[in-house]
Structure 1
């Protein structure tokens, strides 16, 4: 299921990039103590959601089992938010590149996407 090593590496880098984008957005859009809450809190919340709500049978444990469609929506939602925060941080070219890489990843993972839609 979309397990080619290059695609898995791309997915990992996209996940890290999404967390970094959220942290940078939190830094740039706030001041004072709230800046630190957002810098650490937004990526931590996103990572917790990513790790907690999983489909049984997808690699890794499923602490909270969810249907495949919900998992796919969670993943796409987090990547879409990361793309949006890059765009709002005036990193327009980076936002387009990030978004395009997300689309390419899901095209290369078509078998996993189809599997998730059946779960």
Structure 2
């Protein structure tokens, strides 16, 4: 039962990461050049995540990884807020804090080979 809960939380963390990238695209949709920003901003977010925040990040570490995660999720929430989606921004913030907080539980952290 613990493993099912743990993997469910980790799946929700992945969904949270996808939602953050979508938030960047939403902000880009509201600004010119729309055709460029709507795909470029999420792509930049994915690259930053891959290099600094993913479990196997080249430049991640015990300090860098959590700092970049907080920055990416905070900027995603701010992007939704700036795009006029205040309710979604707050919902993403709450969801991000809850699922990433749950992911720090020792019983869930052992499921991921982080260092």
Q: Fold-level match, TM-score > 0.5?
A: yes
Give the drift of 1:110: 2.3
Please report the TM-score for the alignment, with normalisation by the length of structure 1.
0.76
Gaps of 5+ in 2: 110-114
Structure 2 counterpart of 1:70, from 64, 74, 87: 64
Distance in 2 between the 1:65 and 1:111 partners? 24
* 1:23 and 2:25 matched: yes
Distance 1:53 1:99, change over 3 A: same
TM-score normalized by the length of structure 2: 0.79
RMSD: 2.2
Structure-1 separation of matches of 2:52 and 2:104: 20
Q: How far apart are the structure 2 equivalents of 1:53 and 1:71?
A: 6
Moved over 6 A (4+): none
Q: What is the CA-CA distance between 1:54 and the residue it aligns to?
A: 5.0
- Structure 1 residues 54 and 94: CA distance shift in structure 2, 3 A: closer
Counterparts of 1:99 and 1:91 in 2: how far apart (Å)? 12
